[in-house]
Structure 1
């Protein structure tokens, strides 16, 4: 099998979690801002797409080279063996970005890369005329940072957050990859109760259930690279069979999602049903202050509404205060909240054990972590 340099992209602040996921698959990693690099073959591409919960995409790094002129960009791109990746009928749209570089016009860079690849493929496949692009899709990105070009091919297609279970969503949905990251950061294990008191359309509780039963997040979706002629269907079949064997559908789970909005709970019920967890995830219409724990050592994970996006700031501040007072009565429970409110700790009534800076889309947030006491044996 061919060896590839691979890249899993990640939201800022989540690179270490993605790197841990890649290492768990058996590969060594190196990390840059928003990027986790590793090496592998066709099987690795299938595994990474199927199993990475927190990464945004998996890409093949075709090449990196310096370029300050359009000629250098054209010649550097044309010199690459694109025929190793792209069949004669490949559809290959080119996207791009440029940061702190001499070649700052992204549309021009995209056009030049596209033209260079066309020239290379026409020569490789002995074609004098137009390539029809009627075959499988190979999404190419030209990324230029400080005059250094990186050319990649996206193996995923739709972003990896597209699990396939989200039928509907609330006003401010949390991305599935970020929801999975929040669950993983808690070190929650499926033998402990799990609660999301602001569950909205159910993303966090569904991601927790998938983690709890070790279900591969990409199991029920398709990827662009499945259509590539050199990615054998047998590889995908084997990796999916392994994922099916690894899932623990008999693992009991104690997962509860609550919200004060009955309309969004109806959406959550549809999503939970689509994800296959209707018998495992409980959903209740309830205010935070009405929560009652019946066991010890639980984990609470939530994304309270942000004042600038939904509802009234005063109402949100009151909910955070209620939550702080409530969980004083449950010292063995750990509470983890993602919030953009800078006075969150003051409202909650306690300083967090630990804070972690994360981005919810373009919104700068903190993940406030309140670790519970160990239960007495």
Structure 2
């Protein structure tokens, strides 16, 4: 496909600007909206974005939009779109849907009508007398209606982009890889400084930080639905993968450490790091946060500690935050970034945050508390 197409990188609430910066860093001009980043790009951007975007949920092709209030209008609007530019003659195109504040509220009916309209268009364009064979590449179509505007997209990613391929084990409340990467990108950490996570769980933050530190593409170890699409030439995938290899800086030294009170989680974290190809780069240790010792003058702590949401846990978690805050008071030159839904974090930690950002960990509203380290004299 020679002409540019419209792509949508979907994003968790609060991370749209982070995803926008990533899209811009790849050389495209983003338009940021709630829950998504929209941009124009050639087909080559599909493999590049799937391989490189650390904080987006998935990448979709926007086929078209239309205002619809009746099922007939939906059918005609869908049929008028150029589906043959994307879906091959033998392509499989299951349709999912959603409807918010729209006249057409029956999602199942909207899905069925969309499916029928696409099939009619493709049969006409490919000169088929019978039904579409649907035995080839997968094109997951979504019809999303919001305030009577129908948006038709095709998913290019397959599994969500948070599924990097390295997580072979996890704890009870694992942090999504995309959110962990965003927590790192929302700091000004560079590999020149040590990074600690004293509540590391299954190791997601340290692993994502190591990938960022060595500029390793997060999608290097997985597959994508669009790898089988005819509109993306094999040479485009090869070119994108060659870029991944060329830009990785495997010689970059990093000092990243993760610790947790649970020795089983430390073993899981270590196994995950090995699966990610980072086995020798991250140091893991079973340890209470109260036993944390810091020797370096400067550094960063990025963590997602337990929130204490169960009634009996609040007092225990509060004490951990209090003890942690006392330790960090002795190291004012360190920058501390904590994501938590614990309501009285600042008072329990013993210090008001320099900056606070609202984020969502899954469906849990949380705050990202940011404490910027004080500069040491002579720096």
Q: CA deviation at 1:230?
A: 2.1
Note if 1:86 corresponds to 2:87.
yes
1:32 corresponding residue in structure 2 = 33
Note if 1:369 corresponds to 2:374.
no
Q: Deviations over 1:196-244 (max 9, x none)?
A: 1110000000000000000011111111111112211111111111111
1:215 corresponding residue in structure 2 = 216
Does the 8 Å contact 2:309/2:342 carry over to 1?
no
Q: CA deviation at 1:29?
A: 1.1
| C-alpha separation in 1, matches of 2:309 and 2:129 | 57
1:48 corresponding residue in structure 2 = 49
| C-alpha separation in 2, matches of 1:29 and 1:168 | 35
Q: CA deviation at 1:144?
A: 0.7
1:249 corresponding residue in structure 2 = 250
Note if 1:264 corresponds to 2:273.
no
Q: CA deviation at 1:122?
A: 1.2
**Aligned 1:295-374 pairs, distance under 5 A:** 295-308=296-309, 312-374=313-375
1:176 corresponding residue in structure 2 = 177
Q: CA deviation at 1:15?
A: 0.4
Q: 3-state DSSP class of the match of 2:9?
A: strand
Of 84-93 and 200-209, more deviation after overlay is shown by 84-93
Distance change >3 Å, CA 241–CA 354, structure 1 → 2: same
Does the 8 Å contact 2:85/2:231 carry over to 1?
no
Does the 8 Å contact 1:172/1:309 carry over to 2?
no
RMSD: 1.1
1:226 corresponding residue in structure 2 = 227
Q: CA deviation at 1:107?
A: 1.1
Q: Deviations over 1:290-344 (max 9, x none)?
A: 1111112210011111222697222211111111100000011011110011111
Distance change >3 Å, CA 311–CA 194, structure 1 → 2: farther
Does the 8 Å contact 2:300/2:336 carry over to 1?
yes
| C-alpha separation in 2, matches of 1:117 and 1:322 | 60
2:11 corresponding residue in structure 1 = 10
**Aligned 1:177-196 pairs, distance under 5 A:** 177-196=178-197
1:288 corresponding residue in structure 2 = 289
1:155 corresponding residue in structure 2 = 156
| C-alpha separation in 2, matches of 1:167 and 1:119 | 43
Q: What TM-score do the two structures reach when normalised by structure 2?
A: 0.98
Does the 8 Å contact 2:99/2:145 carry over to 1?
yes
| C-alpha separation in 1, matches of 2:292 and 2:264 | 20
| C-alpha separation in 2, matches of 1:132 and 1:375 | 68
Does the 8 Å contact 1:202/1:268 carry over to 2?
yes
Q: 3-state DSSP class of the match of 2:65?
A: strand
Q: CA deviation at 1:92?
A: 0.7
Distance change >3 Å, CA 281–CA 311, structure 1 → 2: farther
Q: Name stretches of at least 5 consecutive residues in structure 2 with no aligned partner.
A: none
Q: 3-state DSSP class of the match of 1:374?
A: coil
Q: 3-state DSSP class of the match of 1:312?
A: helix
| C-alpha separation in 2, matches of 1:309 and 1:143 | 36
Does the 8 Å contact 2:159/2:224 carry over to 1?
yes
Count of matched residue positions in the alignment of Structure 1 and Structure 2: 377
Q: 3-state DSSP class of the match of 1:306?
A: coil
| C-alpha separation in 2, matches of 1:90 and 1:15 | 32
Does the 8 Å contact 1:358/1:364 carry over to 2?
yes
| C-alpha separation in 2, matches of 1:322 and 1:240 | 46
Q: What TM-score do the two structures reach when normalised by structure 1?
A: 0.98
Q: 3-state DSSP class of the match of 1:151?
A: strand
Runs of 4 or more consecutive aligned structure 1 residues displaced over 6 Å after TM superposition: none
| C-alpha separation in 1, matches of 2:88 and 2:251 | 44
